[in-house]
Structure 1
């Protein structure tokens, strides 16, 4: 029987991108649902063999503007309590932290651009990202949940990745992005953040061209190794 994987997409331009290849290579048949789909509230999030939650511009704390957040968190808590394989990226990682009881809140500065992680746990799948410039695109952060391992940091944000056991992996950064044409939508949607960090649309597109392919290659190796260790 085929293994099932469900992608939760919070906005259309933030999809699974470069991570699709290693996940499908590991034998998962992927389906996707958007949070604005009327059926989303009825989906049992404990059912898929693998759950992948991608990014989005909203904050976990913006529950009045996005009522589905509360509904998703409640179902995510059950999945995490059961230890079911779950991957969260950026907003998805923040949702995992919140479902584990940690606080999610606005960070001290915007972190936007390509740069390497620091403090990588070389015994973890993140070892593939050592010295690789990956995309960061966020302004929120989270306290580290209980009973997790911190796997990587950055100068601005100490909590860039964590895992709990072999099955739960949360990634604040975007090693899936670097070859996806939807990056243009990212650049267009948040010009104020680019200005705040001293960048521009032209600079971001140039960095994407320069660093993107290597970032995606490393990200795929990371995800493949994580999937191979699932229980």
Structure 2
């Protein structure tokens, strides 16, 4: 007698775009997997292609990186142009730091640093706008690691602002979102960033490494909880049994 093999439906995929060989999707990846998604990880700087359609994906996340959205590298232009795919198909899209800046460039906005050279590297206050408050209960402090910010493109809605870089979180249309800050860092990731990025702590406005780690103890619980709510708002849950409260354990 032949045994019956139980077949499970394929888990929906989230296109996950990273920009370095050892980069990780961190807590974003953990929460999405806990919510029932699989990650289709691509690294364009290392030669990975991006799909011509997101027909077989539930959405996309483009993460940050050490490069600028204004760099002349071929992959930067290719990736920025590729954003026409999620926008045209109205698929859920999240851009984080560099990913958000690519979105802004694609939409005709501007990306650049402040004239005084001030950066946001460390923990800084976040102020939700009225439009942002209608959607989320935002954290008071968020973690940054950037030297450039972005303008508000035509047609985009500002959801949260900051002191040094005004535009911190935006929404475009129904399904495209961009955030300047980093909620995805695990503890191990933050330790790596503090060690490998220590030379940037001398830039104007940057905080020293111990402030990064001490700030995590003070403000990360709220940031992590917000991230779970944020991702559920954008992508939903592939498995309805997976609640955001469960994803928060990531």
Into which bin does the TM-score normalised by the smaller protein fall?
A: 0.7 to 0.9
Partner of 1:202: 210
Q: Decide whether the 8 Å contact of 2:120 with 2:206 is kept in 1.
A: no
Q: Decide whether the 8 Å contact of 2:124 with 2:143 is kept in 1.
A: yes
Aligned counterpart in structure 2 of residue 187 of structure 1, from 185, 194, 203: 194
CA 162–59 in structure 1, closer or farther in 2 if over 3 Å, else same:
same
The number of equivalent residue pairs is 222
**Ranges in structure 1 where 5+ consecutive residues have no aligned partner:** none
Deviation, 1:214, is: 2.8
Map residues 61-76 of structure 1 onto 2, 5 A cutoff. 61-63=70-72, 66-76=73-83
Q: Decide whether the 8 Å contact of 1:110 with 1:193 is kept in 2.
A: no
Deviation, 1:95, is: 0.8
Q: Decide whether the 8 Å contact of 2:125 with 2:163 is kept in 1.
A: no
Check if 1:57 corresponds to 2:33.
no
**Ranges in structure 2 where 5+ consecutive residues have no aligned partner:** 1-9, 238-250
Task: State how far apart, in whole Å, the 1-side matches of 2:201 and 2:79 are.
Answer: 30
Map residues 1-231 of structure 1 onto 2, 5 A cutoff. 2-12=11-21, 14-38=23-47, 40-41=48-49, 43-44=51-52, 46-47=54-55, 48-63=57-72, 66-108=73-115, 109-120=118-129, 121-124=132-135, 127-131=136-140, 133-177=141-185, 179-196=186-203, 197=205, 199-228=207-236
Q: Decide whether the 8 Å contact of 2:15 with 2:42 is kept in 1.
A: yes
Spell out, residue by residue over 1:69-117, the C-alpha distance to the aligned partner (whole angstroms, 9 max, x if none): 1111222223323322111000010011111121212234101111331
Deviation, 1:56, is: 0.8
Compute the TM-score of the two structures, normalised by the length of structure 1: 0.85
- Please, what is the CA RMSD of the aligned residues? 2.2
CA 141–42 in structure 1, closer or farther in 2 if over 3 Å, else same:
closer
Q: Decide whether the 8 Å contact of 1:115 with 1:136 is kept in 2.
A: yes
